[in-house]
Structure 1
Amino acid sequence: MSGFSPDWLALREPADHAARNPQLLSSVGSYFAAKQSLTIVDLGSGAGSNLRGSYSALPNRQHWTLVDHDEKLLAVARERLAAWADEVQEQGEELVLSKGEKIITVDTRQADLNKDLEWVLGWQPDLVTAAALFDLASKRWLERFAAALVSQRLPLYTVLTYDGREKWQPEHPADARMLTAFHHHQHGDKGFGPAAGPDATEIAAEAFRKSGFAVSIGESPWQLGEGQRELMQALADGFAGAVLETGHIDAQTIADWLAARRNAESGLTGHLDLWARPV
């Protein structure tokens, strides 16, 4: 799986939290409302943003296992979670965080979700979560993943899966061509085989529905403006770099588009959240 820098994850975190679909998060919280404590496995956890975005809706006692292929990111997650908490204690390899009324125990595990998926899910958590992960995965991996969850009746809450929408203001003549080329890049191999890209949420949803799970989907777009100038510029740079790699559009057109986009008034990047659970 492709890695992500701690700086990029920190830059996007406020937009991620603002975009998260509140109705779906509330539904997840309601599903577990009767439980005194909850065990959660967070896949592709990065620097721990998904925990920080989800914890408030979940029971007061939570045990999170953060799983990532990048051991350096897991170390960053521990640092950022310790700084974020009201109080922090170390218990062996675990962190015990106090945040408001919540007591959150955090463990980290390095794993390859291609090779180690069934081992990770074998820990039998109450809930599996992920953020900004499944558009990187292949259709075959997503179907394997759904089958593994269904076999153990494990619910899934995943957020911020890219859905293919990009709207910038003002518009640029190359927008449509650039988006088509970007989507081609999105379907390249990101470490799980040919990536599902913008189709990932529907592929996963269909796999869960066929197995009898209830599935809810909610929109969670980034809606960016002047206050997110640095993030918009970083998005434009990454977008242009991906298109350049495809060879589908000449470098001058990409450069002209990028110059315009780095000074855009606003931008929307579409995402979807998904909540799948046994019934």
Structure 2
Amino acid sequence: MGFSADWLSLREPADMAARDATLLRQAAAAAGPDPVVLDLGCGTGATVRALGPHLPASAKWHLVDNDPDLLPHAAAAAGDGAQTHELDLQRLEDLPLEDVTIVTASALLDLASEDWVRALAARLDVPFYAALSYDGHMGWTPLDPEDAAVTDTFNADQQTDKGFGPAMGPEAGDRSAAAFEAAGFDVRTARSPWRLGPDAAALQAELVRGIAGAAGAGEWGQRRVAAAGNAECRVGHIDLLAIPGGGA
């Protein structure tokens, strides 16, 4: 599993606009008055930029990723006091959880297996905030006759192994919520769809290339890329906040 800094930068404005504002504020409150945040799969620091403005300036960050090229970008976003950790997220026992008050992730759970999420829930005794898990729903305007079939094929590919075992893919939101509820957490979820118009044509085109490659839909991809400057796209996501012990 790995993503380029260019792709992460391209998608970040859509991610920022899509995050559920209420759940984001609740996550910030759940982090407590002296937040120590552990961000899993931090990438270039998207969670830092989204959650950070809602936290005290004294907030501390532990930034975890398996890509050493991305960690300096995330550290720069977090500022003084941030610590980076180049770790394989499969090794949950290695997570630096001491003094952490909240664990976060962005666009991660749909790549993970249910077993991994269950193990993570068993490991945590602090709140967990995970935004932007793909939920399997895509809609395009104008329509193309192959849209539904391509979405189905892409969704099936999203459930193959992405580095954590068989991925939950479009079922990540529901299955992760159930896993944390079974571990005794109070779980809240909210929809956080991308809404991409012609002004996001570059993101639409790159998204389409990825979908077409995974679904083996080259001709569909060519048509969609060509239409990106005049098309609208909605891609569904789910945000999740899990608080241990049913706490507020």
Give the TM bin, normalised by the shorter chain: over 0.9
Q: 1:128 corresponds to which residue?
A: 103
Q: 2:54 corresponds to which residue?
A: 57
CA displacement 1:243-277 (0-9 Å, x = unmatched): 11xxxx6x54x356545653552001111100000
Q: Could you state the TM-score of these two structures normalised by the residue count of structure 1?
A: 0.83
Equivalent of residue 107 in structure 1, options 83, 103, 108: 83
What CA distance in whole angstroms lies between the structure 2 residues aligned with 1:23 and 1:206? 21
What CA distance in whole angstroms lies between the structure 2 residues aligned with 1:66 and 1:198? 26
Q: 1:205 corresponds to which residue?
A: 177
CA change 1:43–1:57 in 2 (3 A) is same
4+ long deviations beyond 6 Å: none
Q: 1:44 corresponds to which residue?
A: 41
Q: Could you state the TM-score of these two structures normalised by the residue count of structure 2?
A: 0.93
The residue identity in structure 1 corresponding to 2:7 is: W
How far did 1:187 drift?
0.7
Q: 1:11 corresponds to which residue?
A: 10
What CA distance in whole angstroms lies between the structure 2 residues aligned with 1:139 and 1:261? 37
Indicate if the aligned counterparts of 2:28 and 2:55 stay in contact, CA closer than 8 A.
yes
Q: Percent identity between the aligned chains?
A: 40
Unaligned ranges ≥5, structure 2: none
SS in 1 for 2:131: strand
Q: 2:237 corresponds to which residue?
A: 271
Equivalent of residue 148 in structure 1, options 98, 114, 123: 123
Indicate if the aligned counterparts of 1:28 and 1:57 stay in contact, CA closer than 8 A.
no
Indicate if the aligned counterparts of 1:225 and 1:265 stay in contact, CA closer than 8 A.
yes
The residue identity in structure 1 corresponding to 2:90 is: N
CA displacement 1:168-211 (0-9 Å, x = unmatched): 10111111110110011101111101111011111111111122
Indicate if the aligned counterparts of 2:27 and 2:129 stay in contact, CA closer than 8 A.
yes
CA change 1:211–1:78 in 2 (3 A) is closer
What CA distance in whole angstroms lies between the structure 2 residues aligned with 1:277 and 1:182? 32
CA change 1:8–1:154 in 2 (3 A) is same
How many pairs align? 245
- Higher Cα radius of gyration: 1
Indicate if the aligned counterparts of 1:218 and 1:273 stay in contact, CA closer than 8 A.
yes
What CA distance in whole angstroms lies between the structure 2 residues aligned with 1:121 and 1:107? 10
Indicate if the aligned counterparts of 1:186 and 1:195 stay in contact, CA closer than 8 A.
yes
Indicate if the aligned counterparts of 1:41 and 1:64 stay in contact, CA closer than 8 A.
yes
What CA distance in whole angstroms lies between the structure 1 residues aligned with 2:43 and 2:118? 23
* Equivalent runs, 1:1-279 vs 2, <5 Å: 2-32=1-31, 35=33, 37-79=34-76, 81=77, 95-96=79-80, 105-115=81-91, 117-149=92-124, 153-244=125-216, 251-252=218-219, 254-255=220-221, 257-259=223-225, 261-278=227-244, 279=246
The residue identity in structure 1 corresponding to 2:87 is: A
**How much is the aligned-residue C-alpha RMSD, in angstroms?**
1.8
